[in-house]
Chain A
């Protein structure tokens, strides 16, 4: 299995809703990532997990809450989002530790989020 699977593919939510995005991989990767991509912009890193622990938080607002329940799963919990948070959310995974070849990332197809 060489894929990163993201669900749902599309999500529409109101500003008072609580929802979650899910990501799963079975490649034995111990690093998992969330990227955010606004329309016509490049992806931007949000969070990095290594060995199920949060390693990097790129100053992301607390209305985004990541969770890594095990080595194959990565969630992104969403609460009280704003319309400007509408974007494509991309999950990726890679091997760890750091070093040459460590961050050959495999991306999922993304979850398209619309906040009304």
Chain B
């Protein structure tokens, strides 16, 4: 069974801190790894996509890495802001399906 695990389940940090969210997955035969943001009661906003042939992607203060051999991905958020507070989901992409982790609930305190 393909599984995606996210650690920690919840994280609370003061504003300005750099932080790392972790994602691990079984089965290295992935097409891509996506990170999404979800605000309470809302849909999913795609943050970063890493193709299986890539090792990292960057967008603004966000950097995501992918290590297929170890089945791990990390999302690095620099200089966190209260507006970054949300649930962050990673998803393993196969040929037709995204399999999601349970997410990390991030709270950035002013």
Which residues in B have their C-beta under 8 angstroms from that of A106? 46
Assess whether B52 is interfacial by the CB under 8 Å rule: yes
By a CB distance below 8 angstroms, the chain B residues around A80 are none
* Of B14-22, B37-45, B57-65, the one with at least 4 CB within 8 A of chain A: B37-45
A104 / chain B contacts, CB cutoff of 8 Å: 32, 34, 46, 49, 93
Q: Please choose the segment from A13-21, A41-49, A59-67, A69-77 that sits at the chain B interface, where 4 or more of its residues have CB less than 8 A away.
A: A41-49
> B38 → chain A, closest Cβ, in Å?
9
B53 at the interface (CB under 8 A from A): yes
B29 in the interface, Cβ–Cβ < 8 Å? Answer: no
Residue of A whose beta carbon sits closest to that of B52: A100
A100 touches B96 (CB 8 A): no
- Which one of A45, A48, A56, A105 has the highest number of Cβ atoms from chain B below 10 Å of its Cβ? A105
Which residues from chain A sit less than 8 Å from chain B, CB to CB?
A: 6, 31, 41-45, 48, 50, 55-56, 88, 90, 98-110, 112
